[in-house]
Amino acid sequence: MSAITLQITGMTCGNCAQAIQKTLNALPGIKAEVSYEDATARIETTGSIETGRLLAAVKTKGYGARLPSGHDDNTDTMVNAALKVAIIGTGSAAFAAAIKAAEAGARVTLIEGGDVIGGTCVNVGCVPSKILIRGAHVAHLQAHHGFDGVPPNRPRIDRATMVRQQQARVEELRHAKYESILASHPDIHLLKGWARFADPHTLTVTATDGSETTVAADRILIATGARPAIPDTPGLKDTPYWTSTEALVASEIPAHLVVIGGSVVALELAQAFLRLGSRVTIMARSTLLSKEDPAIGEALRKILKEEGAHVLLHTLPDAVAHDGKGFILPSKAGEIRCDRLLVASGRRPNTDRLDLDKAGVETGRNGAIVIDDHLRTSVEHIYAAGDCTDQPQFVYVAAAAGTRAAVNMTGGDAALDLSAMPAVVFTDPQVATVGLSERRANERSIGTETRTLALENVPRALANFDTRGFIKLVAEQDSGRLLGCQVLAAEGGEIIQSAALAIRNRMTVQELADQLFPYLTMVEGLKLCAQTFTRDVTQLSCCAG
């Protein structure tokens, strides 16, 4: 029998002690007695005690816990060293988990096989792509702003200088958000090398020089992210094609860029290069953004076409060749030649090097790790988070998952609820969605009522001389409860969070319509769209309540 006494802070009554005692006794093999008067928790177990797990369990109830001052192995029964947590990866999910686990008293080992830490988002994803997109947007506005009396100007683009500024900001953020965190957290240790499972509790890490290190852990988090998926198009792998990684740091602006793909990355980068001066052809397997409301993809296709893009739906290359000067793409639309080819047809999880079979971790389609809402894999002590799993591939989902995985790994109980998850595609106008589309609701046999508001009915859009797009609300037919929102609008990403909060709080469209929204903002479009469920907004005065 092993025992330990913790000092508890923050209790205000006997009920507090009972709540903490119940939480501790819920842990396997633990018998706890908590005293409000003494501000202590006396804990016994038939095995060893993981102090990090105990401290974390108390903290999940909102109280503080620590070992008594002067505590050592001679003043109390033997206690394990801090919980050992190994995290494979150093991206957003990994760092969020590492910080949270360390705060709970765990000793954390981060394992990174690449040259730099930080994962996709800061290095080759969100940060550099949004800088590129913003720069292209500014260039576009100079020549196509729509305001009389302000002469348009077609700027001369210095792409190499753009890349230098972009990468400087990438390095700045990588240092501030990742590298400096390691320096300030002594309980987080970085180990460089490629990890693979030797058994469910042991990882073998191979460094670049071939040397190997064995890491044993009580808990393991897999957060290895994803990489661009490359289709099996004949000849493609023998050509110098781009993925988003190469495109984001390319110092040239291609005369003609072909983009293979019809989803987020493909459309964002296609429009960016179009606005920087490339002639752009988009080749999509089906429609644009085929998983969204069909009206979004069709409207976006028209917008891209108006800007000069050539969009080929239901068309992919039959083969790919490169003659030393350019790419040759035969297809049902004819032979297409281009200077550069960007393959942006999806991403695949980085799980193929992990030897997951030796740990018994189950995977699904394309090697994605199957997890539950507590981030647990098929193996009790192994968790997974981020783009390597079967969850949506968004950095904020990864970070939230990493935090909750750490809570659960250290004895807590935290679930990740994605029912009101907002998503944004950073085209212009932006695509922003949350909740259920009309199609998804109908697939679940939920009766719906919907309204779509054209942006020419939104005063701010009129003032901006940019009425491209719409706002659509999906409500439950009987109750009027808001189920989903789809937005195609400039600043759509800023609009969607208000809809997410409304869905999270189970508001009806009438309750949304009754809210106060500031006049001459794009988000006022949510109120106006909600009002269309009961009235004709074209007959309202400005900012009518």
Active site residue 1: no
Confidence of residue 48 (pLDDT cuts 50, 70, 90): low
Q: What is the per-residue pLDDT across 151-178, written as a single tens digit (0 to 9) for each?
A: 999 999 999 999 999 999 999 999 999 9
Q: What is the per-residue pLDDT across 52-71, written as a single tens digit (0 to 9) for each?
A: 778 888 888 878 888 775 55
Query: Which residues contact residue 301 at a Cβ distance below 8 angstroms, ignoring those fewer than 6 apart?
Result: 287, 288, 311, 313
- Decide if 236-344 and 423-539 have a common fold: no
Tell me which fold the domain 2-81 belongs to: Alpha-Beta Plaits (3.30.70)
In the set 1, 13, 78, 162, the catalytic residue is: 13
Confidence of residue 1 (pLDDT cuts 50, 70, 90): low
Active site residue 529: no
pLDDT at 15: 85
Active site residue 13: yes
Are 4 and 43 in contact by the 8 Å Cβ rule? The answer is yes
Q: Which listed CATH number (3.40.50.620, 3.30.390.30, 3.30.300.130, 3.30.1360.200) goes with 423-539?
A: 3.30.390.30
Confidence of residue 20 (pLDDT cuts 50, 70, 90): very high
Q: Which of 436, 456, 432, 461 is nearest to 446 (CA)?
A: 436
Please report which helix (H) or strand (E) contains residue 253, including its range.
Answer: none
Q: Does domain 236-344 have CATH number 2.60.40.1220?
A: no
The residue-averaged pLDDT of 368-397 equals 98
State the Cα angle at 323 between 320 and 326, rounded to 5°.
75
pLDDT at 57: 85
Are 361 and 378 in contact by the 8 Å Cβ rule? The answer is yes
3-state secondary structure of 205: strand
Peptide bond before 422: cis, by omega within 30 degrees of 0?
no
Active site residue 63: yes
User: What do you get for the CA distance between the two ends of the chain, in Å?
Assistant: 68
pTM of the model: 0.86
Are 203 and 195 in contact by the 8 Å Cβ rule? The answer is yes
Q: What is the dihedral of CA 249, 255, 258, 262, to 10 degrees?
A: 70
Residue extents of the structural domains in the chain: 2-81, 85-228+349-409, 236-344, 423-539
pLDDT at 28: 79
User: Strand (E) positions, 193-278?
Assistant: 194-199, 202-206, 212-216, 219-222, 226-228, 256-260
In the set 36, 63, 338, 529, the catalytic residue is: 63
Q: Which of 174, 155, 176, 168 is nearest to 249 (CA)?
A: 168
Q: Which of 536, 543, 538, 531 is nearest to 471 (CA)?
A: 531
In the set 36, 78, 126, 409, the catalytic residue is: 126
Are 105 and 56 in contact by the 8 Å Cβ rule? The answer is yes
Active site residue 11: yes
Q: Hey, what are 516's tokens?
A: 């106060």
In the set 1, 11, 338, 485, the catalytic residue is: 11
Q: Is the pLDDT of residue 208 over 90?
A: yes
Active site residue 338: no
Q: Can you tell me the distance from the alpha carbon of 38 to that of 14, in angstroms, rounded to the nearest whole number?
A: 11
Percent of the chain with pLDDT over 70: 96
**Burial class, 244, CB count within 10 angstroms (exposed 0-12 / middle 13-18 / buried 19+):** buried
Q: What is the per-residue pLDDT across 221-251, written as a single tens digit (0 to 9) for each?
A: 999 999 999 999 999 999 999 999 999 999 9
In the set 78, 383, 507, 543, the catalytic residue is: 543
Active site residue 485: no
In the set 1, 16, 383, 522, the catalytic residue is: 16
CATH (residue range 85-228+349-409): 3.50.50.60
3-state secondary structure of 91: coil
In the set 1, 36, 78, 121, the catalytic residue is: 121
Q: What share of the chain is helix, strand, coil (3-state, %, to 5)?
A: 35, 25, 40
Active site residue 543: yes
